[in-house]
Structure 1
Amino acid sequence: MTGLIGVLGGAGAVGRTAVERLASFGLPLRIGGRSLVRADEVARAVGADATAVDLFDDDSLTRFCSGCAVVVNCAGPSYQVLDRVARAALAADAGYVDAAGDLVAVEALGHAPPSSLARRAAVFSAGLMPGLSGLLPRLLLDGTPVGRLDVYVGGSVEISEASAVDALLTRGPKFGHALAMWQAGRVVEHSLAPLRSVSLPGFRGRVHAVPFLSTEMRMLAAGGGIGELRNYTVYATENLPAAFATAWADDEQPPEAHAGAIVAAAARDVEEHGRHYTVLAYARPPAGSGLPARRVLLRTPDSYPLSGLVAAITARELAAGAVPPGVHYASEALDPRRVTAELAGDPLVSELALPEDAAATR
Structure 2
Amino acid sequence: MKKEKYNTIGILGATGSVGKKAAKTLMEHTDYKLLLGSRDKNKLETMFDVSDSIKEYVQVDINNKVQLEEFCSRCSMVLNCSGPSEIILEKVALACIERGVHYVDVSGGEKLYELLKTKEDIIRSKKLLFIIACGVYPGLTEIYPKYIIKKYFDLVNSLKFYFTTQGKLSFSSAYDYICGILNKVGKGMKYIDRGCITSVDNNKIQECSLPEPAGSRYCYPIINVEFEKMCQNNNIDEAYFYNTFYNKEDIENAMLIIKDSKRLGKDVLAKNMTGQFVGDSSLRDFTMIYMTCEGIKDNSEIEIEGKMLYQGAGNDISGIVGANVIEIIMDTEPNEHGIYYVTDIISVDSFIDKMNNKGIMFYETIKEYEEGEII
TM over 0.5: yes
Query: What is the rounded CA distance, in whole Å, between the counterparts of 1:45 and 1:167 in structure 2?
Result: 38
* Aligned equivalent of 1:117: 124
1:40 Cα deviation from its structure 2 partner: 2.4
Deviation, structure 1 residue 134: 0.5
Asked whether 1:58 is paired with 2:65, we answer yes
Query: How far apart, in 2, do the equivalents of 1:221 and 1:240 lie?
Result: 28
In terms of fraction of residues, the more strand-rich structure is: 2
CA distance in 2, matches of 1:174, 1:326: 27
Change (3 A) 1:73 1:131: same
Is structure 2 residue 342 aligned with structure 1 residue 336?
A: no
Alpha-carbon distance in structure 1 between the residues aligned to 2:42 and 2:336: 36
SS at match of 1:26: coil
**Paired positions, count:** 353
> Using a 3 Å threshold, how does the CA distance of structure 1 residues 108 and 274 change in structure 2: closer, same or farther?
same
Does residue 238 of the first structure (1) align with residue 222 of the second (2)?
A: no
Quote how far apart the aligned CAs of 1:279 are.
1.1
Q: Secondary structure at the match of 1:274?
A: coil
Q: Residue 185 of structure 1 contacts residue 227 of structure 1 at CA under 8 Å; is this kept in 2?
A: yes
CA contact (8 A) 1:237 1:269 kept: yes
Q: 1:172 to 1:218 in 2, by over 3 A?
A: farther
Contact kept? 1:155, 1:203, Cα under 8 Å: no
> 1:46 and 1:306 mapped to 2: Cα distance?
24
For 1:7, the equivalent position in structure 2 comes to 11
- Alpha-carbon deviation of 1:87? 1.3
* Distance (Å, rounded) in 1 between the aligned partners of 2:202 and 2:223: 10
| Percent of paired sites with the same residue | 19
In structure 2, the CA distance between the partners of 1:17 and 1:313, relative to structure 1 (3 Å rule), is: same
Tell me, yes or no, if the aligned pair for 2:305 and 2:366 is still in contact at 8 Å. Answer: no
Q: Residue type matched to 2:83 in 1?
A: G
Q: What CA distance in whole angstroms lies between the structure 2 residues aligned with 1:7 and 1:66?
A: 13
Residue of structure 1 equivalent to 2:282:
272
Alpha carbons 2:102, 2:128 under 8 Å: kept:
yes
Task: Confirm or deny: 8 A CA contact 1:40 1:49 kept in the other structure.
Answer: no
Q: RMSD of the alignment, in Å?
A: 2.4
Give the 3-state SS of the residue equivalent to 1:101 in structure 2: coil
Q: 1:11, CA displacement in angstroms?
A: 1.6
- 4+ aligned runs moved over 6 Å, structure 1: none
Residue pair 2:303, 2:367 contacting (<8 A) in 1 also = no
State whether residues 31 and 43 of structure 1, in contact with CA within 8 Å, keep that contact through their aligned partners in structure 2: no
- Normalising by structure 2, we get a TM-score of 0.87
Displacement of 1:257 in angstroms is: 3.9
Is 1:140 the counterpart of 2:148? The answer is: yes
Look up the SS of the partner of 1:285 in the other structure: strand
Contact 1:179–1:191 at 8 Å: present in 2 too?
A: no
Cα distance in 2 for partners of 1:192, 1:214 equals 20
Contact 1:97 1:311 in 2 (8 A): yes
Change (3 A) 1:117 1:51: same
DSSP-derived class of the 2:165 partner: strand
TM-score for the superposition, normalised by structure 1: 0.90
For 1:121 and 1:199, the matched residues in 2 are separated by 41
Q: Distance in 2 between matches of 1:131 and 1:285?
A: 23
1:25 aligns with 2:36: no
Candidates 32, 39, 43, aligned match of 1:38: 43
Change (3 A) 1:319 1:90: farther
Structure 2, unmatched stretches of 5+, are 369-375
Shift in CA distance, 280/45, structure 1 to aligned 2, threshold 3 Å: farther
CA distance in 2, matches of 1:332, 1:131: 11
- Structure 1's unaligned 5+ residue stretches are none
Deviation string, structure 1 residues 328-357 (Cα, Å, up to 9, x no partner): 11122211111111111324x2x4203679
Residues 183-240 of structure 1: per-residue CA shift (max 9 Å, x gap): 0121113545455442113542211111111111111121111111111101122353
Greater Cα shift, 209-218 or 242-251: 242-251
Q: Which amino acid aligns with 2:17?
A: A
Q: Which whole-Å CA distance do the structure 1 matches of 2:345 and 2:282 have between them? A: 37
Residue 262 (structure 1) shift: 3.9
